[in-house]
Structure formats: structure tokens, C-alpha cells
Copies of this chain bind each other. A is one copy, B any other.
Amino acid sequence: MSLDPTALPLNELIGLVAALLTTLSFLPQALLTLRTRDVSGISLSMYSAFTLGVGLWLVYGLTLGAWPVIIANALTLALAASILGMKLWFGRRPA
């Protein structure tokens, strides 16, 4: 499997860039939340459903042995789960 992007057909290149963007886009959110602890505007329902959904995409990728799906969703799962964890931790009522 050649990892030379220029060797990829155009639509595969579009899929690769799409996967990189939708996966790595959660990194700036995780860093912002870690830095600011500002979670009031972040939806707990969204990150609960999204994290579960990405976890299922990972299982789906494993059943197919599809490495691009496995790698993209393992990364997204780690990032989404960290945002969910920070939402729960920083968002809890002071005792």
C-alpha cells in the first residue's frame, strides 16, 4: 500500500483529506477545553452520543479490517472521549 498521496486517485485524496480534517479537528477543541475549563457551552448529549458513535465506527472498522477506518476512529475516539471526560470533570457542581 503506497502512502504517496500523489499516487492516489483524486476521490481517494479527497477522502484522505476529509478523514484528516474530521479526525484532527477535535484536537483544538480538546486543547481549548483543557486550557480554559470552559465547558458550559459544550453539549454533554453531543459528546456522549458522538463518543459512542465513534466507538462503534471503530468496531465496524475492526470487523472489516479496514485500517483507515480503524486509525481515524481510534484517534477521534481518544480526542472525543477526552472532551467528554473534561465536560464531566470541569462541569461537575462544586461540592
A41 touches B39 (CB 8 A): yes
Query: In the bound complex, do residue A21 and residue B53 qualify as a contact, i.e. CB atoms below 8 Å apart?
Result: yes
Please give the number of chain A residues whose Cβ is less than 8 angstroms from any Cβ of chain B in the complex: 42
Q: How many copies of the shown chain assemble into the complex?
A: 2
Q: How far is the CA of A60 from the CA of B17 in the complex (A)?
A: 10
In the complex, chain B residues whose CB is within 8 Å of the CB of A45: 25, 28-29, 32
Q: Contact check: which of B17, B23, B38, B60 meets A40 at CB < 8 Å? A: B38
Contact with A49, one of B15, B24, B32 (Cβ below 8 angstroms): B24
Residues of A at the B interface (CB closer than 8 Å) are 10-11, 14-15, 17-29, 31-33, 36, 38-43, 45-50, 52-54, 56-57, 59-60, 63-64
